[in-house]
Every structure is written in structure tokens, then in C-alpha cells.
Amino acid sequence: MSYDSIIGHRTMALDGVRNAAYQAALESIITPDSVVLDLGAGLGTLGMLAARLGARRVYLVEPSNVVSVTRELVHRNGLQARVRVLQGRIEDLELPEPVDVITSVMTGNFLLSEDLLPSLFHARDKYLKPGGRLLPSEAVMEVMPVSLPTYYAEHVACWQQPHLGLDFGAAQEAATNSIYWSRSKFAAATPLAPAQPLLHMDLDAAQSTHCRATTEFSLTTDGSLHGWLGWFRMQLGEAWLSTSPFEPLTHWGSAFLPLPQAQDGHAGDAAGFSLLRPPGGPWSWTEPHPHGRLRPRDPRRHGRRDLHQGDCLAAAGCAPGGGAG
């Protein structure tokens, strides 16, 4: 997905669930003296909401060429006296003043995809006034063991079936070491245990996006374990917004991390999950041992390789940062 195209911004700019949550948070903190930075502003939805709520000055910072549309939207909504649109990466720009509020959507699918959070850390450290506010201010990655038979059969186990007399079985290893993203398809999953927090990130203080985290489960229902669903939730003011596929849909997608083979699970069984994801690096995760012990994947063989955009679209039916599902 190209952020230079208006097509890539539709699901974000018009995300009613997300935007309502941000608006409620902005209403609680914007004053007539507020200076606001909308980082990665896209079409400027959040920054224009802040201006409409009475912020003295709003800076919309967006690197993509969609800013030509953003400027038109600012004028059409009569906000040009308060809103300035700046094109470029925040690391390459100089704001004329510090800010009281930074609102952003630098959180990718499952929090860490797209690796945009370092830009938020840079903006926070350089421009946010002491006592200033971040929206969001905290984020929690969550994971859940699930049964997902139809999706698993269509995207993972399918490689074991001959096609026109050809054997594609060797492709299954790559398929089981890929992350699949979707906005809506994973709502069909059957949870085998309640979701558990995997990684907590305090965005007011974090300096790194390195993830090395482990959590454990006691299965609460019988079923075939096909893999893990992952998503994140974030704090906006006093409220939390979840990107779980079992909550009202947002533009973010959730992640499915499959097992090499489905495993029979029974209520009371122990299962563990570990995720390693260095900044900008591959994703690798563990699979549960049949007797409840973790059997780690060898990252040299099983580490998740970064998908190119086309691979993501073909395999998961979504684009980075949300997309169609």
C-alpha cells in the first residue's frame, strides 16, 4: 500500500471507531492555549478535530504526497488560521515551537509492524513540553491461542495438497513461518483460552521497540490449536481502544501466527507463547510442546521473514497499518 495514494488513507481517515475514541480523548485535554502535533497526520483527521476543539495551533506532519489533499481539506473545513501542514519526516523537519499534545497513529498492526514508533519517540523527546500529553500514552500487545480450521486449511495446510499433479509440500514451511494479517477474517476463530498481555509499552518513556516476551496459558476449552492471534490495545486519555478481531473493527488488522501442524488441545492443558521481534527485524515465535513445555523454533530455520507488500496482500488480504480484510 502506498500512502501517497488517497486509496491508502480511506480506512484510516474514515475509521469511525478509532476517530471517536481519539476525539473523546482530545476533548478532555485540549484548551485554547494548546499547541498540537498530529504526527503522521495523513489527511489530518485528528489534527483537524483538535483545531475544531479550540487548540491555538496544530501542526500536521505527513511525509507522503497526500498532503496536497490534506491542505485542501484544512481550507474546506475553515481551519487554515490554526492548522499548518508540513510535508516530511519529523526527523527532517523543525517545528517552530514545542507542543502540549502529540496525537499519532504510529502504532502498526500488532503494535510493532511498520516500525513507526521510533519517529514518535523522536518527536516526544524533541518537541513535547514537560507535562505534555501523548495520544496514545500506553500500548499492550495481547495474544490468544485459537482454533481456526478453515483459514488454516486455506492458507497453511493447503500446500500439502497436490496441484495439477505437482507437489507443493515444500512450501508449507515458509507458510507456517509467515504472519497473516486481516481486519475481519479472524473473528471466526474459536478462543481456546482468554487473551493474555504479552508486552506493555509506556509510550511516555519508551526508547526501544525491541520485543522479547513470553506468556503462558491454561486452555479453557477443548479444540484443535492452529496458532495464535495477536493484536494490541492502547490508552487514549482515560479510555482504552482494542484492535482485537472480537471488538468493533478498526483500520488495524490482527495477526495470525500459525503452528506447523494443528495440535489437539484440552481444557486444563498448559500452553506457552514466546515472541522475539527486534526493531525492524524478523518475527519469530515458539510453539507449545505436547506435554506443556515450550519447544522454541530455530530462528535460522523458522524466523519470520519480512513480507513485501505484495506478499502481505496475497497471503493476508490486508495492507500494512490496516488495509482491507
> Does residue 203 sit in the same domain as residue 256?
yes
Q: Does 315 score more than 90 pLDDT? A: no
Please state, in angstroms and rounded to a whole number, the distance separating the CA atoms of residues 175 and 259.
Answer: 10
Helix axes 45-52, 16-29, angle to 10 degrees: 40
Q: Is 17 left (phi over 0), alpha (psi -120 to 50) or beta?
A: alpha
Q: Burial of 303 by CB count in 10 Å (0-12 exposed, 13-18 middle, 19+ buried)? A: middle
> Does residue 101 sit in the same domain as residue 151?
no
Please state, in angstroms and rounded to a whole number, the distance separating the CA atoms of residues 124 and 69.
Answer: 26
Please state, in angstroms and rounded to a whole number, the distance separating the CA atoms of residues 185 and 146.
Answer: 13
145: amino acid identity, one letter: P
Structural domain boundaries enclosing 240: 139-314
pLDDT tens, residue by residue, 122-154 = 999 999 999 999 999 999 999 999 999 999 999
Please state, in angstroms and rounded to a whole number, the distance separating the CA atoms of residues 244 and 228.
Answer: 12
DSSP assigned state of 308: P
**Residue 310 pLDDT:** 25
Domain boundary among 105, 120, 149: 105
> Does residue 285 sit in the same domain as residue 144?
yes
CB 53 within 8 Å of CB 103? no
> Does residue 17 sit in the same domain as residue 154?
no
pLDDT tens, residue by residue, 204-260 = 999 999 999 999 999 999 999 999 999 999 999 999 999 999 999 999 999 999 999
Q: What CATH number has the domain bearing residue 220? A: 2.70.160.11
Q: How many structural domains does the chain have?
A: 2
**Does a structural domain hold residue 71?**
yes
**Does a structural domain hold residue 125?**
no
> For residue 159, what are the β-bridge partners?
none
Q: Does 262 score more than 90 pLDDT? A: yes
Q: What angle do CA 15, 244, 284 make, to 5 degrees?
A: 115
pLDDT tens, residue by residue, 51-81 = 999 999 999 999 999 999 999 999 999 999 9
